[in-house]
Amino acid sequence: MRCFALFLTLFPGITSGVFAADIPVTNPPVTDYTLVEDLRLNRADWSGFNAVLFAGGGFLQGDDSLGGDSFFRSGLVGGSIGYDFQFNQFVLGAGVEGAYVNFRGNSSSGNTRQNSNWLGAATVRSGYDAGRFMPYLSAGIGFGNYKIKRKSDGLSDENTHIGFVAGAGVEAKVTDNVYARLDYKHYEFNSKSYTLPGFSSFTVDGTADIFNIGVGYRF
Protein backbone atom coordinates (compact mmCIF):
# COMPACT_ATOMS: atom_id res chain seq x y z
CA MET A 1 0.00 0.00 0.00
CA ARG A 2 2.80 2.38 0.85
CA CYS A 3 4.33 1.72 -2.61
CA PHE A 4 0.98 2.34 -4.31
CA ALA A 5 0.44 5.56 -2.36
CA LEU A 6 3.94 6.74 -3.28
CA PHE A 7 3.22 5.93 -6.94
CA LEU A 8 0.00 7.99 -6.81
CA THR A 9 1.91 10.86 -5.23
CA LEU A 10 4.57 10.86 -7.97
CA PHE A 11 2.24 10.04 -10.88
CA PRO A 12 0.93 13.58 -11.51
CA GLY A 13 4.50 14.93 -11.76
CA ILE A 14 5.61 12.05 -13.97
CA THR A 15 2.67 12.23 -16.32
CA SER A 16 2.84 16.02 -16.59
CA GLY A 17 6.53 15.73 -17.46
CA VAL A 18 5.82 13.04 -20.06
CA PHE A 19 3.00 14.98 -21.67
CA ALA A 20 5.08 18.14 -21.62
CA ALA A 21 7.87 16.30 -23.40
CA ASP A 22 5.43 14.96 -26.00
CA ILE A 23 3.95 18.36 -26.86
CA PRO A 24 6.23 20.37 -29.14
CA VAL A 25 7.06 23.82 -27.85
CA THR A 26 6.80 26.48 -30.48
CA ASN A 27 7.91 30.08 -30.11
CA PRO A 28 5.62 32.77 -31.49
CA PRO A 29 6.68 33.75 -35.06
CA VAL A 30 8.92 36.74 -35.27
CA THR A 31 7.79 39.20 -37.92
CA ASP A 32 10.40 41.39 -39.58
CA TYR A 33 8.80 44.72 -40.33
CA THR A 34 11.99 46.36 -41.57
CA LEU A 35 11.19 45.98 -45.28
CA VAL A 36 7.61 47.11 -44.76
CA GLU A 37 8.78 50.22 -42.92
CA ASP A 38 11.26 51.00 -45.70
CA LEU A 39 8.52 50.82 -48.32
CA ARG A 40 6.09 53.04 -46.48
CA LEU A 41 5.81 56.57 -47.80
CA ASN A 42 7.16 58.17 -44.65
CA ARG A 43 8.29 61.76 -44.96
CA ALA A 44 11.98 62.21 -45.73
CA ASP A 45 14.18 65.25 -45.29
CA TRP A 46 15.00 66.78 -48.70
CA SER A 47 16.06 70.18 -47.40
CA GLY A 48 19.57 71.57 -47.68
CA PHE A 49 22.41 72.16 -50.11
CA ASN A 50 23.10 69.42 -52.66
CA ALA A 51 25.62 68.53 -55.35
CA VAL A 52 25.32 66.04 -58.22
CA LEU A 53 27.74 64.47 -60.70
CA PHE A 54 25.98 63.09 -63.78
CA ALA A 55 26.49 61.53 -67.20
CA GLY A 56 24.17 60.95 -70.11
CA GLY A 57 23.46 61.99 -73.66
CA GLY A 58 21.20 64.00 -75.90
CA PHE A 59 20.21 65.50 -79.23
CA LEU A 60 20.79 68.94 -80.70
CA GLN A 61 18.85 70.28 -83.67
CA GLY A 62 19.62 73.60 -85.38
CA ASP A 63 18.01 75.60 -88.19
CA ASP A 64 19.33 78.64 -90.03
CA SER A 65 17.72 81.40 -92.08
CA LEU A 66 19.42 80.12 -95.24
CA GLY A 67 17.27 77.00 -95.22
CA GLY A 68 19.86 74.68 -93.73
CA ASP A 69 19.36 72.38 -90.77
CA SER A 70 21.42 70.02 -88.66
CA PHE A 71 20.87 67.19 -86.19
CA PHE A 72 23.62 65.96 -83.86
CA ARG A 73 23.97 63.40 -81.05
CA SER A 74 26.42 63.45 -78.16
CA GLY A 75 27.24 62.00 -74.79
CA LEU A 76 27.82 64.34 -71.86
CA VAL A 77 29.27 64.66 -68.36
CA GLY A 78 28.56 67.41 -65.89
CA GLY A 79 27.62 68.54 -62.43
CA SER A 80 25.14 70.67 -60.54
CA ILE A 81 24.76 72.45 -57.21
CA GLY A 82 21.56 73.63 -55.60
CA TYR A 83 19.44 74.16 -52.52
CA ASP A 84 16.05 72.70 -51.58
CA PHE A 85 13.55 73.79 -48.96
CA GLN A 86 10.81 71.42 -47.76
CA PHE A 87 7.51 72.24 -46.10
CA ASN A 88 5.17 69.35 -45.32
CA GLN A 89 5.51 67.04 -48.35
CA PHE A 90 6.32 69.74 -50.89
CA VAL A 91 9.87 70.68 -51.92
CA LEU A 92 10.96 73.90 -53.63
CA GLY A 93 14.48 74.34 -54.88
CA ALA A 94 16.87 76.15 -57.20
CA GLY A 95 20.11 75.10 -58.83
CA VAL A 96 22.67 75.64 -61.57
CA GLU A 97 24.32 72.99 -63.72
CA GLY A 98 26.79 72.67 -66.54
CA ALA A 99 27.80 69.86 -68.89
CA TYR A 100 30.54 69.16 -71.38
CA VAL A 101 29.08 67.95 -74.69
CA ASN A 102 30.49 67.10 -78.09
CA PHE A 103 27.78 67.92 -80.63
CA ARG A 104 29.46 68.23 -84.03
CA GLY A 105 28.88 67.53 -87.69
CA ASN A 106 28.37 69.04 -91.13
CA SER A 107 25.49 71.28 -92.12
CA SER A 108 22.94 69.86 -94.55
CA SER A 109 24.58 71.87 -97.36
CA GLY A 110 27.98 70.42 -96.52
CA ASN A 111 29.71 73.82 -96.71
CA THR A 112 30.22 74.32 -92.98
CA ARG A 113 31.27 72.37 -89.91
CA GLN A 114 29.18 73.02 -86.79
CA ASN A 115 29.71 72.10 -83.17
CA SER A 116 28.65 72.79 -79.58
CA ASN A 117 30.91 72.08 -76.60
CA TRP A 118 28.90 72.96 -73.51
CA LEU A 119 25.41 73.43 -72.10
CA GLY A 120 24.23 75.00 -68.88
CA ALA A 121 21.04 75.85 -67.02
CA ALA A 122 19.77 77.81 -64.04
CA THR A 123 16.44 76.42 -62.89
CA VAL A 124 13.88 76.34 -60.12
CA ARG A 125 11.97 73.17 -59.34
CA SER A 126 8.96 71.87 -57.47
CA GLY A 127 9.02 68.38 -55.98
CA TYR A 128 6.89 66.03 -53.89
CA ASP A 129 8.21 64.00 -50.97
CA ALA A 130 7.07 60.42 -51.61
CA GLY A 131 9.20 58.83 -48.90
CA ARG A 132 12.50 57.68 -50.34
CA PHE A 133 11.56 59.15 -53.74
CA MET A 134 11.04 62.72 -54.89
CA PRO A 135 9.59 63.35 -58.38
CA TYR A 136 9.94 66.94 -59.57
CA LEU A 137 9.35 69.43 -62.39
CA SER A 138 11.89 72.12 -63.31
CA ALA A 139 12.03 75.27 -65.46
CA GLY A 140 14.43 78.14 -66.03
CA ILE A 141 17.03 79.59 -68.37
CA GLY A 142 19.34 77.51 -70.56
CA PHE A 143 22.69 78.39 -72.13
CA GLY A 144 24.77 76.78 -74.84
CA ASN A 145 27.56 77.66 -77.25
CA TYR A 146 27.41 77.08 -81.01
CA LYS A 147 30.20 77.46 -83.56
CA ILE A 148 30.03 77.48 -87.35
CA LYS A 149 33.23 76.99 -89.35
CA ARG A 150 33.52 77.26 -93.12
CA LYS A 151 35.39 74.31 -94.59
CA SER A 152 36.96 76.13 -97.55
CA ASP A 153 39.08 78.62 -95.55
CA GLY A 154 38.59 77.73 -91.86
CA LEU A 155 36.91 81.04 -90.97
CA SER A 156 34.34 80.75 -88.20
CA ASP A 157 31.86 82.56 -86.00
CA GLU A 158 30.63 81.57 -82.54
CA ASN A 159 27.82 82.59 -80.18
CA THR A 160 26.31 81.75 -76.82
CA HIS A 161 22.61 81.00 -77.22
CA ILE A 162 20.17 81.64 -74.38
CA GLY A 163 16.66 80.31 -74.05
CA PHE A 164 13.95 78.62 -72.03
CA VAL A 165 14.52 75.19 -70.46
CA ALA A 166 11.98 72.86 -68.84
CA GLY A 167 12.26 69.33 -67.54
CA ALA A 168 11.34 66.63 -65.06
CA GLY A 169 13.06 63.99 -63.01
CA VAL A 170 13.11 61.88 -59.89
CA GLU A 171 15.51 61.45 -57.00
CA ALA A 172 15.80 58.33 -54.84
CA LYS A 173 17.55 58.19 -51.48
CA VAL A 174 20.28 55.56 -51.15
CA THR A 175 21.23 56.69 -47.62
CA ASP A 176 20.16 59.72 -45.60
CA ASN A 177 22.65 61.88 -47.55
CA VAL A 178 23.40 60.01 -50.78
CA TYR A 179 20.81 59.80 -53.56
CA ALA A 180 20.48 58.82 -57.22
CA ARG A 181 18.92 61.16 -59.80
CA LEU A 182 17.31 60.65 -63.20
CA ASP A 183 16.78 63.91 -65.12
CA TYR A 184 15.46 65.18 -68.47
CA LYS A 185 15.61 68.73 -69.86
CA HIS A 186 14.39 70.34 -73.07
CA TYR A 187 16.13 73.52 -74.29
CA GLU A 188 14.59 76.11 -76.64
CA PHE A 189 17.42 78.40 -77.79
CA ASN A 190 16.95 81.89 -79.21
CA SER A 191 18.22 83.05 -82.60
CA LYS A 192 21.71 84.46 -83.00
CA SER A 193 23.27 86.16 -86.01
CA TYR A 194 26.36 84.65 -87.68
CA THR A 195 28.65 86.35 -90.19
CA LEU A 196 31.29 84.71 -92.38
CA PRO A 197 33.30 86.81 -94.89
CA GLY A 198 31.81 86.48 -98.36
CA PHE A 199 28.43 85.35 -96.99
CA SER A 200 25.44 87.43 -96.02
CA SER A 201 24.68 87.37 -92.28
CA PHE A 202 22.27 84.64 -91.29
CA THR A 203 20.56 83.54 -88.08
CA VAL A 204 20.60 80.20 -86.30
CA ASP A 205 18.32 78.84 -83.59
CA GLY A 206 17.90 75.37 -82.14
CA THR A 207 16.62 72.94 -79.55
CA ALA A 208 18.25 70.30 -77.38
CA ASP A 209 16.95 67.31 -75.43
CA ILE A 210 19.20 66.08 -72.64
CA PHE A 211 18.91 62.90 -70.54
CA ASN A 212 21.23 62.05 -67.66
CA ILE A 213 21.61 59.92 -64.55
CA GLY A 214 23.65 61.05 -61.58
CA VAL A 215 24.72 60.50 -57.99
CA GLY A 216 24.21 63.30 -55.51
CA TYR A 217 25.03 64.25 -51.92
CA ARG A 218 22.81 66.34 -49.67
CA PHE A 219 24.69 68.35 -47.04
pLDDT recorded at residue 106: 80
Kindly provide the residue ranges of all beta strands, DSSP E only, lying in the chain, ordered along the sequence: 48-64, 69-87, 90-106, 112-128, 133-150, 156-173, 178-194, 202-218
Q: What's the predicted TM-score (pTM) here?
A: 0.78
Over residues 87-118, the pLDDT tens digits come to 999 999 999 999 999 999 887 666 788 999 99
Q: Which domains does the chain have, with CATH numbers?
A: 37-218 (2.40.160.20)
b/e per residue 12-22 (b: at least 16 CB within 10 A): eeeeeeeeeee
- 24 has a pLDDT exceeding 70: no
Over residues 142-153, the pLDDT tens digits come to 999 999 998 888
pLDDT recorded at residue 111: 78
